Structure 1
Amino acid sequence: MNTKQGLIVLSGGMDSVTLLYEYQADIALALSFDYGSKHNARELPMAALHCQRLGIEHIIIPLGFMGQYFRSALLEGGGEIPKGAYDEENMAATVVPFRNGIMLSIAAGLAESRGLQRLYIANHFGDHAIYPDCRASFIRPMHEAIAAGTSLGVEICAPYTDISKGEIARHGKALGLNYAETWSCYEGGSVQCGRCGTCLERREAMAEAGIEDPTPYLE
């Protein structure tokens, strides 16, 4: 009998990779989405790498309609990625409308199809001011809707909701993770730029956790 009852939404970034390793004992399936972001081509191989390493099945579902119809600087053709501090004014352009709602809905259907009872997502406190669908005020009702709308009563597990990215990095440090094997940069270049808000947040999180940053940056 398979005792693993979890499905994780896995981007290939620091947060979801940390969550993957921290809860690997319960994760039967990892789900990534190709939704037309500028950095999908860099993130997805990282997600695949860790799933292969852990022997966890990995599925990538294309969501091309988001890149085609939604407006966000994060998406191909959506304008320039803001540089500088990761604050609300600077990073609001990178919001992909209702991204987590869409992805969790699909994940819930897949979980029920596979007989899995838990959905893991790595939203965290640092995202709350900028991304509405990362907040506890979104996760709670989404949890209730998914539980009510699935015959298995599928649950959302979002253990990082109330902690910072620096605290997530401390979890990763304790797990012995090599964060060079994750991707954060929204630019999607051959090397992480080091200047966009998410690169700066990444650097700050590792410094806060006492990790010597192993990431190659453009600058």
Structure 2
Amino acid sequence: MTDTVVVIYSGGMDSFTLLHHARACGYRVHALSFNYGQRHVRELDCARDVCRDLGVPHKVIDIRAMAEVMSGSALTSDIDVPEGHYEEDSMKATVVPNRNMILLSLATGYAVTADASAVWFGAHGGDHAIYPDCRPEFIRKMDAVCRIANYEPVGIEAPFMAMDKGAILARGLELGLDYSQTWTCYNGREKACGRCGSCVERLEAFAANGVTDPLDYEVSA
């Protein structure tokens, strides 16, 4: 086992917190981001800036060529992003087919190359209602597969699995993080919409912690 982990880093607040959490735990971090044709691709700009400032090795992998096998989601196709809370059935429109299995498989290959013992990603308790590939059973089975897929075992870990977004934010605030360095909104416009499931959950997390979100919103937060 090594003291290096690969963190799947989207540029959103969960993976931003996870990246810093891994560093605070003493791990050497390699950050890995993906361009899969998401309409909120501006999150990758946040990821690049943060990793540059921290001096963290960072790769952005362009997998837009796979768009035809990852279509049908409001995040990647010409479908309106639903508004409301994650637990509403309409949020299923934001599921990208097989996204996490694809990303974790690619990240596992990179982990072998980087001599990392594990891949970390930011799935959390608030994701369970809508996203099958963020649930504990999926993570357990991906972990089992990735430990035997190569000569070098690579673990799949979701350190925030038992936490909701409010608890993740609390950890980030404990670390003194600046969340203006993140992008969460599913729409890639100049300001965050404040209405999509991702924005709603983010705003709830800030309210639960009694702090103001530093991002600008199209609607009053």
TM-score (norm. length: structure 1): 0.94
Query: How many residue pairs end up in the alignment?
Result: 215
**Letter of the 1:112 counterpart:** V
CA distance in 2, matches of 1:8, 1:86: 24
**Letter of the 1:37 counterpart:** Q
Aligned to 1:213: 213
The 5 Å alignment of 1:6-21 reads 6-21=5-20
The 5 Å alignment of 1:1-219 reads 4-24=3-23, 25-40=26-41, 42-69=42-69, 70-75=71-76, 77-219=77-219
List runs of 5+ in structure 1 lacking aligned partners.
none
The answer to whether the 8 A contact 2:8-2:120 is kept is yes
The answer to whether the 8 A contact 2:185-2:199 is kept is yes
Q: CA deviation at 1:66?
A: 3.7
Q: CA deviation at 1:78?
A: 2.9
SS at match of 1:53: helix
Runs of 4+ in 1 over 6 A off after TM superposition: none
The answer to whether the 8 A contact 2:86-2:129 is kept is no
The answer to whether the 8 A contact 1:20-1:27 is kept is no
Q: CA deviation at 1:53?
A: 1.7
Q: What do you get for the CA RMSD once the two structures are aligned?
A: 1.2
SS at match of 1:184: coil
**Letter of the 1:85 counterpart:** H
TM-score (norm. length: structure 2): 0.93
CA distance in 2, matches of 1:188, 1:27: 31
**Letter of the 2:188 counterpart:** G
The answer to whether the 8 A contact 1:8-1:27 is kept is no
Higher helix share: 1
List runs of 5+ in structure 2 lacking aligned partners.
none
CA distance in 1, matches of 2:29, 2:159: 18
SS at match of 2:30: strand
Q: CA deviation at 1:44?
A: 0.2
The answer to whether the 8 A contact 1:180-1:216 is kept is no
SS at match of 2:60: strand
1:23-76 deviations in whole A, cap 9, x for unaligned?
123133100000001001x1001111111121111000011134334211111x
SS at match of 2:147: helix
CA distance in 2, matches of 1:128, 1:146: 22
Q: CA deviation at 1:158?
A: 1.0
CA distance in 2, matches of 1:88, 1:95: 13
CA distance in 1, matches of 2:65, 2:186: 19
